[in-house]
Amino acid sequence: MKKAILSIGLFVCVAVGANAQETTTPNPVNPNAPKFKFETEVVDYGTIEHNADGNREFKFTNTGKEPLIISNAVGSCGCTTPQWPKEPIKPGASGVIKVHYATDRVGAFEKTVTLTSNADTPSKVIKIKGVVKPDPTPATDAPATPAPAEKH
């Protein structure tokens, strides 16, 4: 008898729990939301010299019907530093995301900048890539060792 009561109690708890869950509907898309339209979402530095100018720009237009507000921009590592407009970008107006890559790092790179905004897509990722040539100056880490003295 105890097993039957426990089974019924368990069944009731499961049934009540299943009915208590809310059905979540996704937030409706705002048809007037701001929208990014970038000239390009990937900036290719190409092959550049060691310690070359690491500054590049991403130009964009707000093609939405409300002002675009960028609340944050984060590089995928400390070598990638973004700057973004702090003021709202009006509908139809353009803006620039400036990105600096530390070109003292030799070799191929591919980094991202993640933008957080009130746009129809609240998180937007843009990319930089390229190759930094090796430093042309020879490394002088160790002091030169004098030649051994000759024995006479």
pLDDT of 65 above 70: yes
Model pLDDT for residues 131-144, shown as the tens digit of each residue:
999 998 866 655 55
In a domain, 62, yes or no: yes
Place of tokens 């299943």: 18
Compute the distance between CA of residue 45 and CA of residue 79 in angstroms, rounded to an integer: 14
- Residue 132 CB partners (closer than 8 Å, separation 6+): 48, 49, 50, 52, 103, 104, 105, 106, 107, 109
Number of domains in the chain: 1
What is the pTM for the complete model shown?
A: 0.72
Q: Quick check: 72 and 43 in contact, CB under 8 A?
A: no
CATH number, domain containing residue 77:
2.60.40.10
Tell whether 109 is covered by a domain. yes
- Return d(Cα 81, Cα 47) in angstroms, integer: 20
Domain assignment of residue 14, yes or no: no
Q: Say how far apart CA 130 and CA 105 lie, in whole Å.
A: 11
- Residue 67, classed as helix, strand or coil, is coil
Q: How confident is the model at residue 25 (pLDDT cuts 50, 70, 90)?
A: low
Is 138 part of any domain?
no
Residue with the bigger pLDDT between 83 and 148: it is: 83
Within-domain flag for 52 = yes
Query: Quick check: 34 pLDDT over 80?
Result: yes
Q: Which of 117, 114, 57, 125 is nearest to 87 (CA)?
A: 117
8 in any annotated domain: no
- Within-domain flag for 22: no
Quote the CA–CA distance of 33 and 35 in Å, as a whole number. Answer: 6
Instruction: Indicate if the pLDDT at residue 24 is higher than 80.
Output: no
**What's the pLDDT score for residue 29?**
77
**What is the residue range of 50's domain?**
36-132
Q: Is residue 11 part of a domain?
A: no
Highest mean pLDDT among 12-16, 122-126, 135-139: 122-126
